[in-house]
Homo-oligomer: A and B are copies of this chain.
Amino acid sequence: MNGDFTYCNPTKLYFGKNAMEGLNKELPKYGKNVLLVYGGGSIKRNGVYEQVIAALRANGKEIFEDAGVMPNPTIEKVYEGVARARAAKADLILAVGGGSVCDYAKAVSVSVHCDEEIWEKYFLRFEDVSCEVVPVGCVLTMVGTGSEMNGGSVITNHKEKLKIGHVFGENVYPKFSVLNPEFTFTLPKYQMISGIYDIMSHILEQYFSGTDDNTSDYIAEGLLRSLIHSAEIAAENPRDYEARSNIMWTATWALNTLIAKGKSEDWMVHMLGQAVGAHTDATHGMTLSAVTMPYYRFLLPYGTAKFARYAVNVWDVDPAGKTQTETAREGLCRMEAWMKKLGLVMNLTDLGATREMLDGMVQSTLIMEGGYKVMTAQEIRAVLEASF
């Protein structure tokens, strides 16, 4: 475990088929006014909305609605949510939906009592929160981002063609999250596998960095093996509770800071994917899958030993009689075959991107410095070009 670090994750999780009962334990802790935040209305079709309303009413809450949170929530929508939360004098923001809704709820929660320009403060200058935070709770209906147990909030600014994430501190983490795997059963397959790849990418972004031996990478390998196994089962039968519950639990632990402890992180797949997302508004997980193979094949020579370890420990490649590079490459080939079989989008064209967007996407790509190679603009362009 490299360096000094702290760990504290205070979010309380209620998991399982009866997880909604957790609302009755949590709601009494907060004041009367609840801002209920959700997306396009799928929660009205699958019955989750009614269950939430019933719990809020049973606990004597005044409900203020903020619907229409989009898959890539915009800063303009955040401004709208802040106004609603202020008008409601919200004591609690209850996010019901997927990671986008949770991310959005957190962005609103740190802005209600903030006097500064929030896009600039949080997403351009990455400043800490200096005002009171409205508590957030989540009822998760879509799996992937890990937003239910972390401080992350990714917001898109279409005017500036930027999609940027801020990782807030413990005081912004959801106070509680309700995780019922059955709530994810009705999700369309495209969204499900997109979420699965988001999880996979979160783990790999933290795994592909560093040359030391640390426990975090061993935990990451365990999570990857579980995810790969359960994803195959869920793709065949989306109503397999065991598989969907494993995927839900893996998603939470893939991005709640645990597997990043004592090591550096990469995050370039997300930076590339978010640049694509800012120009196409494509589904997040699919922007990641589309750039992954070109990026990892570019990165492999700079981190060959780790890619070989990945091949052996995660993809069961037999290293006997192979060079380290051959082993590493076979690992990526097996991963690519798994991705294709799962139905992930493997190129940018299928996401609606055109080569005319290349300059803009290169410009929108933030360069992170924690991985095996700090990319140049030319290298970013080459990886994006190879992703078409």
Contact = CB atoms under 8 A, between A and B. Distances in A.
B262 A245 contact: yes
Interface string A204-222: 0000000011111011111
Of the candidates A3, A14, A246, the one having the most CB atoms from chain B within 10 angstroms of its own CB is A246
A210 to B, nearest CB: 11
B19 A15 contact: no
A387 interface: no
A214 B246 contact: yes
A130 interface: no
Interface stretch (A29-37, A225-233, A359-367, A370-378): A225-233
A274 to B, nearest CB: 27
Contacts of A13: 6-8
A253 interface: yes
Contact of A3 (B16, B218, B220, B246): B16
A223 B191 CA distance: 31
A7 B3 contact: no
A223 B217 CA distance: 10
Nearest to A226: B218
A219 B215 CA distance: 11
B262 A249 contact: yes
A11 B243 CA distance: 30
Given A1-B249, A220-B222, A246-B1, A261 B15 contact: yes
Contacts of A9: 9
Contacts of A22: 6
A200 B215 CA distance: 14
A71 to B, nearest CB: 26
Contacts of A14: 4, 6
A17 B1 contact: no
Nearest to A13: B7
Interface in A1-54: 1, 3-19, 22
A230 B223 CA distance: 20
A226 B259 CA distance: 13
Interface string A259-279: 001100000000000000000
Contact of A7 (B15, B221, B230): B15
A242 interface: yes
A74 interface: no
Contacts of A11: 8
Nearest to A14: B6
A178 to B, nearest CB: 10
Contacts of A242: 1, 212-214
In the A-B complex, the 6 residue pairs with the closest CB atoms: A4-B16, A222-B222, A218-B226, A218-B222, A8-B12, A1-B245
Interface of A: 1, 3-19, 22, 181, 212-216, 218-223, 225-226, 229-230, 242-243, 245-246, 248-250, 253, 258, 261-262
Given A9-B9, A215-B230, A215-B253, 10 more contacts: A4-B15, A5-B16, A6-B12, A6-B22, A7-B15, A214-B242, A215-B222, A215-B250, A219-B219, A221-B225
